[in-house]
Structure 1
Amino acid sequence: MNGNQSQLRRKLAGLPWHGIEPDDRLTRAINAAAELRHDSRDAPRRLKII
């Protein structure tokens, strides 16, 4: 499953996220979830942003 997650993360990195409103809740939730898998130690702090 790690291989698929890495592939998905690379795919998401190539999408034009900059064209989306930075305070869009869904976008922030998606970014938080992606970073959650990357570094779960920061999970509580990142989730407070949503």
Structure 2
Amino acid sequence: MLGLEKYIAQSGLDKKLYGLIKIRASQINGCAYCINMHVGCNVNRLSTT
């Protein structure tokens, strides 16, 4: 996973989009812990325009 995180960081993918992807993947997996973690990590990033 750390390799993937490093690759994504260098890819130029928008950080807001990547945060939303993580949240959606957690929803699909049904992992409440991961949803809470990703929402918490991205709350400031996702609330800005």
| TM-score, length basis structure 2 | 0.42
- TM-score, length-scaled by structure 1: 0.41
Bigger proportion of residues as helix: 2
* Greater relative contact order (CA < 8 Å, ≥ 6 in sequence): 2
